[in-house]
Structure 1
Amino acid sequence: MSVTNKHALLVSVGLLALASAAPVFAQTASGSAEPTQVDEIVVTGQAVARGNNVVGHDRIDALPAAQNIVDAIKLVPGVSIRGSDALNNDPWTYAINIRGFEVNQRSSKIGQTLDGVPLFNASYYLGGSPAQKYVITESVDRIVVSQGTADVGSPAANALGGTLAYVTREPSAEAGGLIRATLGDFDTRRYFARYDFGTLFGNTRLYVAGSQLDAKLWPHGGATPAGIEQVSLEAKSVTQFDGLTVTGFVNYNDSDDDPIIESSRASLDTRGLGVDGSSAVFNPLSAAANENWADDWAAIRENAFAYLKFDWRLNDVISLDVTPYVQTNEGVGEFLPPGLQPRIVTVGGQRRQVVFGNAASRARTATFQNSVGNAVFNYTGGVADSYIALDGTTVTSADCYTADGAVRLTNGQPTCAQGQSYRNSTYDHTRSGVVANARLDLGAHQVRAGVWYENLNRDFGRQWLRYQDIRTGPVIVENAVYRQDFEQTFETDLYKFYVADDWSVTQDLTISVGLQHFLIDISGQTRDETRYAADGGFNGFLTSSVSSDSDQILPSVGAVYDVTEDFQVFGGYSRNSGAIGDWALEKTGTDFARLEPEVSENLELGARYSAPRLAAAATLFRTENDKAIVFLDETFASNTGGINYNVGTGGTYVNAPGGIQTTGVEASAQVRVTDALSAYAALTVLDSQYSATFNAANYGGSRRTQVTEGNTVPGTPDLLLAGSLTYETGPFTGSLTARYVGESEGDAQNRPELVVPSYTLLDLSAAYRLPLGDDDARYIEAQVAVNNVTDERYIGGILDEFNQRYTPGAPRTVYFTVSAAF
């Protein structure tokens, strides 16, 4: 199908639905954090004084079972989901953009919660985790998407672009289970099982669940060992007492995720969009060729999360809930720098290898390693380079070179193997806290107030190991760190206070007012190159601290007016804070006395229409971000391109004189054409610009960039269209979705050659359910899902706005799932 025809099909689907309807809005209290009733055909919205949508479990069920749960919101207006992995489980290329604000590998400006509990930031490389590391997809009942303005009581400290609130299913009162198996392209295998124990002891419901995913990455036809490996275990219980409900939830996730590897645009233009920047095989003769070997670029993490919620209804007026929670996260990020880069210092006239040292101690890179794996440097001016290694042996140039500097040969081949480093970023944090809310039903006034406290302890470091001998294969020498760049420890104490009132002025008019305030203190200590003398002596840890209190009380005000029984208008204003994270203390050049939290202001005006068979909603909005926190002054970032494997703690975070300014319209429509057929469409038009001129860089390796006021924000499409047709009759269900993603800028400087072209994606799913009894609880179901039906080639990933690196989108993929419920 040609691009023109595909676009015509999408526009036709969109016009069909927009001409007739839009997403139903649930009739809830104006300030309610969650809907009480949801029409779950495709997408619905809450009747609150801000733009929002609710994605129900039917939309979630239409995804391939192995798909990243965040992809369920890709049809929501104002939302753009990026990613290059076929299932979007790769945390390197995955990104969310809402009204110009992003979650990507180095930014997290959208809040996320699970059952009202904060999930920390969603960026792997800021120490966080995306939602699929906290919950199994089949356990998600719905997702509340608040674009731009979060609920004033939401426990999120970085919600400049809004929040994603995931709500889990309730355990069933009846015993039963679900078993599911998925097979698909690129050797995808995913297994899931859940068992509901029914009602225990007369007042308790409980389920346990588990899933396992193994999938090869699509570049190179999935023939490499690289892929996604995830195991999740989960349980949830609900116990009812008189006036008290106790809910417990626990999830454990163990992941080994290899990424789609990025390329320059020149490389993509030359090689095409059918392959990424990785190498398919491990080269036993060239460490440089292994730098991008697909299987050992990886993010390996163990994540555990649990909460225990106590919900009291004291009487008809007062109710309280208190939810303590805890999360742990531990793992590494892997890279393969070519060569070995040991630290050598001179002590008492003798050169010795050390693990820690100053920058001068790592001045050279060794191409070869000797028979016991130590780095060997070539002769300099005919003089051998010798030093005492960590293992106490003496290493000399003669191990791998002849006296004239030539590579020493044995039987015509180099005597020594090329050295291959295995560099790890190490992550380890524990996060614990409590969310407490009180609600007063005072008739015309629904008053809420609450506090959120969290303590975060996070360790971050970087260490270098090596391969044993690349000529014999990719065997890593475990527990043998030959160099460490830094180790850092951070502690964050966060308090949030809020109060809100939803005042029903009349039967038709509700005014909502809220105030929130953050008190955040962060401290840390750093051991890095700057703390070492030339002889390797350690001069003690560098300590630092910063306050990230919101600069003032943050207000939220809005109104909802029911013009008729079917038609509603709303409007609102809010001021949000984007807290400084402990990631800012990673860069020790920052002037913390001058660094301030980011802020954003949101104005919205919208309308909703709801009738039995059709509904529609539209929102006009303007969001302005100020004091954007940007990175500067890493020497490498100013002078060099490519990957900086020595990037450390240098550089500084500063506040820009402005940030992002976005104006736009979001509209969505849904119609029940017949009892069996429903149609949905969404339209988003965005103008997202930088509101000031400033300098910034990606500390991982981009040159310093001047961002010019008025430039379009990269990765923010100017136009988004989405549509779906869903058909359900008897045991058969089918769904066709289409998304048109308009062109977007590819970097902050808006270089014409880096513009990301528009593209259109069609996805199809169909399922047949065979009942096994008189009720709906027992059945066998077969589902087939096809992503990217037309095999569109497109750029699926932009790593961030500064590094000018991109990844190709996934080709057509097919998945087959069989489910058995009993």
Structure 2
Amino acid sequence: MMNRKRAFWATTALCSGLLVAGAASAQSTGSETTEATNLSEVVVTGSRGARNIDGLAVAETIAKTRNTVTQEFISTQTPGQTILQTLNVTPGLSFTNTDPYGSSGGNIRLRGFDGARVSLTFDGIPLNDTGNYSSYTNQQLDPELIERASVNTGSTDVDSPTAAATGGTINYVTLRPTSDMSGWIQASLGDFNYRRFMGLFNTGEFGPWGTSAWFAVSRQTYDKFKGEGELQKTQFNARIYQPLGDNGDFLSLAGHWNENRNNNYLGPNLGTATRSILPQIETDPRGWDVDFNTAYLPYPAVGGSPASFTGRNGVADVDPSDNSNFYGLRINPSNTGNIRGTSRFTLAEGLVLTVDPSFQYTLANGGTGQTVLSETDRLIRGTLATGGLDLNGDGDTLDSVRVHATNNTNTHRYGLNTSLIWDLDDNNRIRAAYALDYGRHRQTGQYGRINRSNPSNPRFVDWFAGRNDEANRIVNLNGYELRTRDRLSIAELNQFSLEYRGQFLDDALTVTVGVRAPFFNRDLTQNCYSQNASSNVLCTTEVPNAPLANGNVTFPGRGTTQYVAPYQREVKYDDILPNLGVSYRFGEGHSVYASYAETLSAPRTDSLYIVSRQADGSLAAPTVQPESGQNFDIGYRYSSPTLVGTASVFANNEDNRIVNTFDEDLGTFVDRNVGSVERWGVEGSVGWSPIEALSVYASATYMQTELQDDYVYSFTGTTPNILQTKGKELVETPEWMFAARVNYEFTDWLEAGLQAKYTGERWVTDVNDMKVDAFTTVDANVRIDLAQFGYEGTFIQVNADNVFDEKYYANLGTRASATPGQLGYSQPFASVGSPRTISATLRVAF
């Protein structure tokens, strides 16, 4: 048997120069091809991989800061874990996971940028939400199917299809099918009743043209590590690959489907900065295990009628407000899928076309939508003055009953990323690229009923309330389906890019000059009445009063609250963004590089739906402008057969930073531009394999951030209230981070690894009056390879995460201030880091 390290040593021993790593880590087929040494190089096979130390320290050559991990390292981590947790050992990235196995999501901070400002891509297609740009880390590809994953901590690629990323890119690439028929099945068991089963089948090459494909399926279930509830995840994946000749041309089509059904976790309150209110973990008897309620409360006693879980005829039953925190009604469902095409065609010698089309589907909600609805509410009566609906089946319409009223988002997203690449000669290359990202973002919220067949333990009838099951919808007396919202957003990005790549001084000097021009359009349609200068909406069949002089309306029985009738509007953003880089290779394995890129992040959807009627009858809306940024990186790299290292110094200027503040003209809180942020720091990593059996890896990040401006948080009359943020640091951004890993092969069949990640203190508030402690987690893995005993590809692996059971806060619910009486005061909260978790996996190959 040739184990993983021997394969590495055998490869590097044959190499006298540095192999090209850029093409192996780029996100699109166009970038892979452009970064290849020559256009005939096959960049997708993995046969010409970059030097690396156990798949963790991978040599890069492009003129930007990028860190890559491969399946060699990914496979040592807990099966089923999100790829973001695996990447957490790389410099610059702080990822805090919500649970031990990754299905509840987590929080991304990359050089201080939150996940909405970092582009997350899957085989080059953008995964950030088309509305608010959020990244949902629990919905990612099964890690066993990822060939490599990379983090661009500075600039994006010139063809990156994004109107949101001011803070870099995280990308992962799917495995290519093998030439020989093969497969495996595996089963994992672990703490918290963890059960995961997965299978992969490679067809091998078949047919007259050498076609190959693979198919995979996985199913995962486990209990929450605190409180009641469970998490379920089901995933289907496939890829088919067709080479076109022997020059690297190919056609590929891949499909992905993921379903999550998760009980939510409750994050404890952090108290106040003055400790006048103590953190909830100190006051609640459950301590770190504080979570949602496990008991559903009955309707309270009324007069001589005792408390009851079922409705009582003739009694005005009111569902207790505390039931909003019942764990059984805190479920977060999502269905996501995509179809990804990649292709490359040589049109003539030195001329290559790449075409990467895609389609994505999303149906999801946050899992928190429920409300107590009176059976005679105006929403139910509509245009009628009397009547009601018996929502709990007790024969009367006197009650206030809990119903399912969640906000669903359904997105159909079409994408295209294509490049035309022309080699002028052996040393000069030009690329022209076009990217389309078109998202139809439908946001609805049909009310649905709650299943009370077990009245003390109710459940939702439909994961998505009234969306899918028409019989479950709540229809008012006019025949109108009650809903929390009803709007349609079209987000369309058309982006054009040009790039020049030149090599000089016997290929020692590489210069790239690029520019991308994003043209971004949001078409917004609001189908409900909007409360004037508010994010609240009223979806109703009630007949409004006569329009006011300014054009707004009021409703009978709803006081003087003004509403704006349904409307449609459009906003557009565009920019010209340079992307420059230079690298110089000298000596044996030494190189330096520098890069500069400008970025843009367009405003998010929700705030754009807040409108206010002006005195002249016109509609005013937030005038927020896109964020912009300038990224600078200077770095040094070294690569030899046993040592791969990199270090970089970076600086970022972010202008027009968007935060949610009070707008005096609109009279409500909206997104607005509040000033600039400066970031700078140093990061680096090194991998070393002094002997064949041993490898060592370490990474470090030091970063400083500073807000450059105070900003108007609210108004008292016409007097602005200024939040004192100038000179403060960004929330959730540790100043120091360290990671380390040691891997040792004791024999041909026994291997073990130990790794640790230190995350420094993080501010919880914008004014820096509260922070959470630093923490260190340690993980371990042991693998017994059964190939020595005649079972090639079969192994047993044990993973232990957070070995020393560190107690810490993970994701932070940040606030402006945590000091009572101060501007912007509100108590922050946080999720709890997962405890020590042990799992075991058996894989059987065939």
Fold match (TM-score > 0.5):
yes
Q: Which residue in 2 is equivalent to 1:765?
A: 781
- The alpha-carbon distance between structure 1 residues 157 and 281, as it changes in their structure 2 partners (threshold 3 A), is same
Structure 1 residue 577: Cα displacement = 1.1
Distance 1:586 1:64, change over 3 A: farther
- Aligned-partner residue type, residue 492 of structure 2: D
Measure, in 2, the Cα distance between the counterparts of 1:512 and 1:594: 36
Which of the residues 437, 444, 458 maps onto 2:441? Answer: 458
Q: Give the equivalent residue in structure 2 for 1:113.
A: 121
State the one-letter code of the partner of 1:445.
N
Report the equivalent of 2:650. 621
CA contact (8 A) 1:273 1:794 kept: no
The one-letter amino acid of 1:737's match is: Q
**Does the CA-based 8 Å contact 1:336-1:420 persist in structure 2?**
no
The equivalent position to 1:233 in structure 2, one of 231, 236, 239, is: 236
Aligned counterparts, 1:12-161, within 5 A: 27-28=20-21, 33-34=31-32, 37-38=49-50, 39=52, 40-91=54-105, 94-103=106-115, 108-121=116-129, 126=132, 130=136, 133-161=139-167
Query: Is the contact made by 1:782 and 1:816 (CA closer than 8 Å) also made in structure 2?
Result: yes
Q: Deviations over 1:516-548 (max 9, x none)?
A: 110111111113343762159998522121112
Other-structure match for 1:168: 174
Give runs of aligned pairs for residues 277-292 of structure 1, distance below 5 A: 277-284=291-298, 287-292=320-325
1:814 aligns with 2:838: yes
Q: In structure 2, what is the Cα distance between the partners aligned to 1:26 and 1:81?
A: 30
TM-score, normalising length: structure 1: 0.81
Offset at 1:513?
0.9
Q: Deviations over 1:315-362 (max 9, x none)?
A: 4411111111101111333226564356427888934569xxxxxxxx
CA gap 1:116/1:625 in 2 versus in 1, 3 angstroms: same
Name the residue aligned to 1:474.
458
Give the aligned residue type for 1:563.
Answer: F
- Residue identity over aligned pairs, in percent, reads 21
- Superposition pairs for residues 670-709 of structure 1, below 5 Å? 670-695=687-712, 706=723, 708-709=725-726
CA RMSD of superposed structures (Å): 3.0
Structure 2 CA distance for partners of 1:86 and 1:347, relative to 1, 3 Å: closer
Q: Helix, strand or coil: the match of 1:70?
A: helix
Pick aligned residue for 1:712 from 725, 729, 732: 729
Q: Which residue number corresponds to residue 543 of structure 1?
A: 568
How far the C-alpha of 1:423 sits from its partner, in A, is: 2.7
> SS state of the match for residue 200, structure 1?
coil
- TM-score for both structures, normalised by structure 2: 0.78
Q: What code does the residue aligned with 1:119 have?
A: L
Alignment of 1:630-669 (within 5 A): 630-633=659-662, 651-658=669-676, 660-669=677-686
Q: Distance in 2 between matches of 1:460 and 1:670?
A: 47
How many residue pairs are counted as aligned between the two chains? 709
How far did residue 784 of structure 1 move?
0.5
Give 1:606's match in structure 2, choosing from 619, 628, 635.
Answer: 635
Gaps of 5+ in 2: 1-16, 36-42, 44-48, 271-278, 300-318, 463-471, 476-481, 531-537, 545-554, 613-618, 715-720, 817-825
Offset at residue 304 of structure 1 (A): 1.4
Displacement of 1:749 after TM fit?
A: 2.1
Name the residue aligned to 1:745. 763
Is residue 735 of structure 1 aligned with residue 789 of structure 2?
Answer: no
Q: Does 1:303 align with 2:340?
A: no
Distance across 1 between alignment mates of 2:396 and 2:645: 76
Deviation at 1:472, TM superposition (A): 4.1
Judged with a 3 Å threshold, the aligned counterparts in structure 2 of structure 1 residues 667 and 173 are, in CA distance, closer, same or farther, namely same
- Alpha-carbon distance in structure 2 between the residues aligned to 1:679 and 1:597: 43
**Counterpart residue type for residue 542 of structure 1:** Y
Instruction: Check whether the contact 1:795–1:808 (CA below 8 A) recurs between aligned residues.
Output: yes
| 2:794 aligned counterpart, secondary structure | strand
Cα distance per residue 1:730-763 (max 9 Å; x no partner): 1122110011111010121211xx3110011000
User: 1:821 is matched by which residue type in structure 2?
Assistant: A
Q: Report what 2:221 is aligned to.
A: 214
In the TM superposition, residue 582 of structure 1 has moved relative to its aligned partner by: 3.4
| Aligned equivalent of 2:741 | 724
Query: CA offsets per residue over residues 1-41 of structure 1, 9 Å max, x none?
Result: xxxxxxxxxxxxxxxxxxxxxxx985346996458523243
**2:357 partner SS:** strand
Matching residue of 1:184? 190
Q: CA deviation at 1:492?
A: 1.8
Q: CA distance change for structure 1 residues 464 and 690 in 2, over 3 Å: closer, same or farther?
A: farther
Q: Which residue of 2 aligns with 1:491?
A: 490
Q: Does 1:372 align with 2:393?
A: yes
3-state SS of the aligned residue for 1:290?
A: helix
Q: Verify the 8 A CA contact 1:603 1:621 in the aligned structure 2.
A: yes
Larger CA deviation: 262-271 vs 594-603: 262-271
Higher relative contact order (CA 8 A, sep 6+): 1
The 1:450/1:665 distance shift into structure 2, 3 A limit, reads same
Post-superposition Cα deviations, 1:758-814, rounded to whole Å, max 9, x if no partner, equal 01100000110101787x8x3321111000000010111113455722111111010
State the shift of 1:95 in Å.
0.7
Match of 1:788 among 802, 810, 815: 802
Kept in 2, the 8 Å contact 1:488–1:586? The answer is no
After superposition, the C-alpha distances for 1:590-634 in whole angstroms (9 at most, x for unaligned) are: 955733221111111111111221122111001111112222349
Does residue 525 of structure 2 align to residue 511 of structure 1? no
SS at match of 1:771: helix
Contact 1:696–1:707 (Cα < 8 Å) also in 2: no
Instruction: Report the alpha carbon displacement of residue 681 of structure 1 after superposing the two structures with TM.
Output: 0.5
- Indicate how the Cα distance of structure 1 residues 506 and 536 shifts in structure 2: closer, same or farther if over 3 A, else same: farther
Aligned partner of 1:194 among 191, 200, 203: 200
Contact 2:354 2:419 in 1 (8 A): yes
Which aligned pairs between 1:589-604 and structure 2 lie closer than 5 A? 594-604=623-633
314 and 756 in structure 1: CA distance in 2 versus 1, 3 angstrom threshold: same
Q: Is the contact between residue 295 and residue 456 of structure 2 (CA under 8 Å) also seen in structure 1?
A: no
* SS of match in other structure, 1:219: coil
Q: 1:344 aligns with which of 364, 378, 381?
A: 378
Cα shift at 1:668: 0.9
CA pair 756-463 structure 1, distance change in 2 beyond 3 A: farther
Q: Is the 8 A contact 2:526 2:567 kept in 1?
A: yes
3-state SS of paired residue (2:521): strand
Counterpart residue number, 2:346: 313
1:143-202 Cα deviation digits (max 9, x unpaired): 111002112122232221100111111101000111111111111111110100000113
In structure 1, what residue type is equivalent to 2:174? T
